[in-house]
Amino acid sequence: MTRTVGVRRCPGAFVTRTFRAGRHSGAFGCRPATLRILQLKAQGLNARIPLVAELLVRHSIDIFLAQETLFNPGWRATIIGYAQYRTPKTDGARGFAIYVKKDLKHEFFPLPDTPTLESLAIRVYATGTSIVVANVYNSPSDRGISTPEIQAILQSANHTMVAGDLTALHPAWNKSRRNKAGLQLYSHSLQQDFTILTPPTPTRVDPRNDAKSMLDVAL
């Protein structure tokens, strides 16, 4: 059996990357096709809604995934033309949101229990198929990342994509930088049937020392 594993870089900015529904092995390539997905660790989204709405229109984004929204339960934070799924800020979580174009057939998708990962997902339907898009955040910790939880999400449907800040550094996508989560995720990708997709440029610059890193990936 031939499998596509490892790391692939897509041209262009991560926020305007396109994905193609297909088989799980290397299923979401770098060619324009069914869905355009924007992913952002917002660190507070409410004040950025007008800018985000402009970006969604400018880049014809179908699905927008946001982590660390810091939404309070009473905030609406609507974007015209998009349905919204979200979890509010709590003592143990900083809030998630998924915005999806209203003209796409979609529904909330219940994921398996992931005690160490924050996650939220939807299922989007296309002609003759569907894809689960999971918004995931792995908070920094000494434990790294729970690969069983990642695998449970990936296996929750026939076609699944995970995207978000996984706090995972590995030389395969971060030059010489690495951490426990990155080593675990890369090793797991070689053992299982999924590909790590990364943008061509860093997704975070540390304001303290200008160190660049790529913490946001898609599986």
Q: Would you give the DSSP letter of residue 99? A: E
DSSP for 179-199 reads -HHHHHHHHHHHHTT-EEEE-
Tokens at residue 44, please? 């507070």
Residue 185 Ramachandran class (φ > 0 left, ψ -120 to 50 alpha, else beta):
alpha
Q: What is the pTM of this model?
A: 0.81
Stated as kind and residue range, the H or E segment containing 171 is helix 171-174
> Which uninterrupted H or E stretch holds 160?
strand 160-165
Q: For residue 32, what are its two tokens?
A: 């324009």
List the strands of the sheet with 35-41, edge to edge: 18-19, 35-41, 63-67, 96-101, 82-87
* 167/180 Cα distance (integer angstroms): 9
For the beta carbon of residue 183, count every other beta carbon within 10 angstroms. Answer: 16
Determine the Cα–Cα distance for residues 147 and 175; give it in Å rounded to an integer. Answer: 22
Residue 3 φ then ψ, to 5°: -125, 150
Torsion of CA 54, 60, 63, 64, to 10 degrees: -30
CA angle 199/203/208 to nearest 5° reads 155
Domains identified in the chain and CATH numbers: 6-218 (3.60.10.10)
pLDDT in tens, the chain (219 residues): 333 334 544 543 333 333 333 332 233 334 434 688 988 887 788 888 999 999 999 999 999 998 888 877 777 888 999 999 988 766 566 788 999 999 999 999 999 999 999 999 999 998 788 999 999 999 888 889 999 999 999 999 999 999 988 888 888 877 767 889 999 999 999 998 788 888 777 666 666 766 666 778 899
